[in-house]
Amino acid sequence: MLPYPALHASHSGVWIADSDGVREVSRGEAIACAADTPTILLNAPLIGQRLGYADLSGLDLLELFAFVHPARFAVPTPKGLAQALGQPVPVDEAEVAGSLRAAAVRLLETASAPWPEQEGAWTAAQSLFRLRWPWAPALGQVLPKPETAERWLFTKLPEWDEEAPRAAPRNVTLAADAIGERLARLTGASAEARSGQRAFAGAAAAAFGPRMARDTPNLVLAEAGTGIGKTLGYLAPASLWSEAADGAVWVSTFTKALQRQLAQESERVFPDPALRRERVVTRKGRENYLCLLNLEDALQGGFQGRAAILAHLVARWAAYSADGDMVGGDLPGWLPTLFRRNGSTALTDRRGECIYAGCPQYRKCFIERAARASAKADIVIANHALVMVNAARGRETGTRPTRYVFDEGHHLFDAADAMFSAALTGAEAIEIRRWVLGPEGGGRGRRRGLAARLSDVASYDAAGGAAVAAAVEAARALPADGWLARVQEGAPFGPVEELLGAVRGVVFARAKDGEAGYGLETELAEPPPELVDAAAPAAQALDALLRPLVALGKRLEAVLAEGPDWLDGPARARCEGAIASLGWRAETVGAWGRLLARIGGPADPDFVDWLAVDRVEGREYDMGLHRHWLDPTRPFAETVLKPAHGVLVTSATLRAGGDWATADARVGAPHLPRSPDHFEAPSPFAYATQAEVLIVTDVTRGDLSALANAYGRLIVAAGGGTLGLFTAIRRLRGVHARIADRLARDGLPLYAQHVDPIDTGTLVDIFRDDPRASLIGTDALRDGVDVPGRSLRMVVMEGVPWPKPGVLHAARRLAGGGSAYDDRVVRARLAQAFGRLIRRADDRGLFVLLSSAMPSRLLGAFPEGTPVTRCTLDEAVARALSLGGEVGHGAAALSMEPPS
């Protein structure tokens, strides 16, 4: 047994296990122990938060697990770790500390003998020892030294190969019987026949027929209720078409959870793992993947302290990762959060500074490998943002798909709204400056400016070199480090900072402070003279930057066309990458210029413009001008839908209690020459007996104590298994602070988004793994949370999810029918939240809305036949008791006193 003690802290107490046994201790004693002695912990940031000691550190078992088992996932709880290691699960919290010591022994025993992830471990441990990683001495005593030197990560990663372009897909028409046979094969011979799924597959097939006219895709809108099995329903015709036409189908989602689910479902299409890796590819934006050049820089001294330790653990993972995806892939989501300051973002290409073929790791690049794999795949699992970025910015034009499936189609409007918007803010402007200029003021790191990235190309082309020099000079007019403090102090430097100072003044003069301490905004109308005066020099500065960026892009295109002798393969690839990056930045700067032209000029009815100061808890962090399309599906239809040959848009809540006209408008169908096909398959679930909606009428709006009391009593009555949804982070935190300790004393863990230092995906994994746990959060938990069974048996919403009032919402409300527009938004949100509750035929659950002001006209958001009852909190608690069953705490629920 290790000589180190183990420490476990929860909302119900603190325990230490050492050679003398397990004992409960005070928080002060626990902090003193951890400060004086190397202590075994599980998730140090979380334990530190519970002890009220943010600087807590020690021997974190999750870090050791990530070292010994890279690219494996374990739920980061005592139960989850025990299950991952094949050990007994602790039955109560007093046993947890002892189980942590046993887990440490198990992991070190694994490392003492040959195991699948052994290669590279000894070398990594030596580097981590020099960085004083707490686990390195213990590992050094057990890791066997290899007989020969271990291969360096960058020498053992496989290289991708160039291949001939794929021919255009053939025009084929799918036979109905063939679709039925494919669906039967995917569902399996023993599966129950579902008529709704068969009908859905048949309707989806219309999106895969030959296109009849230019800019007129075969568009199918299909609303398939929960339980229809729509994933296999569209994979059947999609895989059949891909096979017959030799083309790729891009299946686009909105949430990472559905991307993972689709990857799992693809096993039915291609059961052989090797074939599946070739034919099914998951794609995300560049910023999701590990950049090997950034990692190399971090390993060679670019990172210091704890960040350097993270880099070495990520390097261990990279050697075993399937695709290098750091966000939602096989890198455990909890690993970066252990290091508090999220150094993982510096290991990805978030700034768009890729040097493509100029990178020594280019042939091994995870991003390039994924792009090439998707070019020859049958099914590409992507997301809405990537699809729109590729279409709008002209990326991968040679491999642009002709067939799309947009699952979670009710999110297309929001995804398009984010993609096709413009924001001239301090944070956005300084990123452009850094992209052009590179490090300033002695800053270190791999980041290089435009001149350095194109130095060899520019040296052969005088016009290109002059454009680079002009861009560098013009970029100095953009905000620099320290801009926020200068603007706040009234001492801005440069024309764009002057503009931001004027924006800030207008916002504070005109905005209505609806929720103290949070963001402020005001419409861009009747601008004061100070703002008009500041806009002109800022516009000139942006134009001075835009011109050389455009000129440089054109010059690089000319160089590619001329093909001079010095333009070898790597230089050509670097030029092509630079052209794409230049186009993106030039488009951004051009949009800023058009936005500034609006100041003092006529409004454009197609756009909504406003000024904002972004704040969190009273602290300003950004400010600037914003522009959104009034109807963002217009550019979506032009750039994505019209070039496609066939598109299927599907969701369980596509209409969200409205009609097909509403669904059409939300996906851009009115902007196409031909109307779409519509299909509806109601859910097979018996909502009349499986679910109930309770509208609680006696919880006073705005009374945080009453709200916390309601959540606490309902969760205890149900015995956990509750998903709580809030519309404001402040109220979420207030409720959590009031009830977490009380629930823990009843053996009911409570986890909270925006409170616990754990990423949202991992919080959902923890929630799914423990039927006694509850999870509270905001909008991110309203979608993409798939927790079937006992782990989710009640959804509680704090109130009617009305849209947040703001300039953009007010404009769309006016254009969309006033209160009818609000009703459509609320019905959609209620439908999405209710959809978390019943995920399979044997689920039972309650949907509780803590609002007496719920209008009856909005009840159409819930599935037909679902019982809806207005009741008191006491009555709701009594109904929740039936959900607790063997894990409930009914007596406690009825006797809980309201919090003081």
Mean pLDDT computed over every residue of the chain:
89
What is the per-residue pLDDT for 166?
A: 87
Amino acid (1-letter code) at residue 893: A
Say which residues have a Cβ less than 8 Å from residue 238's Cβ, sequence separation at least 6. 204, 208, 249, 251, 379, 403, 405
The model's pTM is: 0.91
Contacts of 400 (CB under 8 A, 6+ apart): 390, 391, 643
Contact at 8 Å (CB) between 759 and 752?
no
Q: Which run of H or E residues covers position 752?
A: strand 750-752
In 251-383, which ranges are continuous DSSP H helix? 256-269, 273-279, 292-297, 306-318, 334-337, 366-375
Whole-angstrom distance, CA of residue 683 vs CA of residue 698: 33
Alpha carbon distance 183, 179 (integer Å) = 6
Positions of the chain with pLDDT lower than 50, given as ranges: 886-900
| DSSP one-letter code for 629 | E
CA distance 756 to 763: 9
Q: What is the pLDDT of residues 3-23, one digit of tens each?
A: 899 999 988 899 999 888 899
As a three-state string, the secondary structure of 695-731 is EECCCCCCCHHHHHHHHHHHHHHHCCCEEEECCCHHH
The closest alpha carbon to 43, from 4, 80, 13, belongs to 80
Q: What is the pLDDT of residues 132-175, one digit of tens each?
A: 999 999 999 999 989 888 888 888 898 888 788 888 999 999 99
- Looking from the CA of 821 toward its CB, the CA atoms found within 13 Å total 16
Which among 493, 495, 491, 475 has a CA at the least distance from the CA of 430? 475
CA distances from 695 to 53, 284, 787, 850, 876 (A): 40, 40, 23, 6, 8
Contact 691, 233 (CB under 8 A): no
Q: Which residue has the tokens 């209690």?
A: 657
Q: Cα–Cα distance between 506 and 530 in angstroms, integer?
A: 9
Residue with tokens 């189908």: 249
What is the pLDDT, as a whole number, of residue 872? Answer: 96
pLDDT at position 558 is 85
- Separation between Cα atoms, residue 228 and residue 839, nearest integer Å: 10
DSSP conformation class of 847: E
CA distance linking residue 550 with residue 543, whole number of Å: 10
Q: What's the Cα-to-Cα distance from 482 to each of 109, 294, 450, 576, 612, rounded to whole Å?
A: 50, 25, 22, 34, 19
Angle at which helix 529-562 crosses helix 569-597, to 10 degrees, equals 160
- Alpha helix ranges (H) inside 168-229: 176-187, 195-204
Q: What does the pLDDT read at residue 651?
A: 94
C-alpha 849/C-alpha 830 separation (Å) is 10
R_g of the chain, CA atoms, integer Å: 28
Rounded CA-CA distance 338/509 in Å is 42
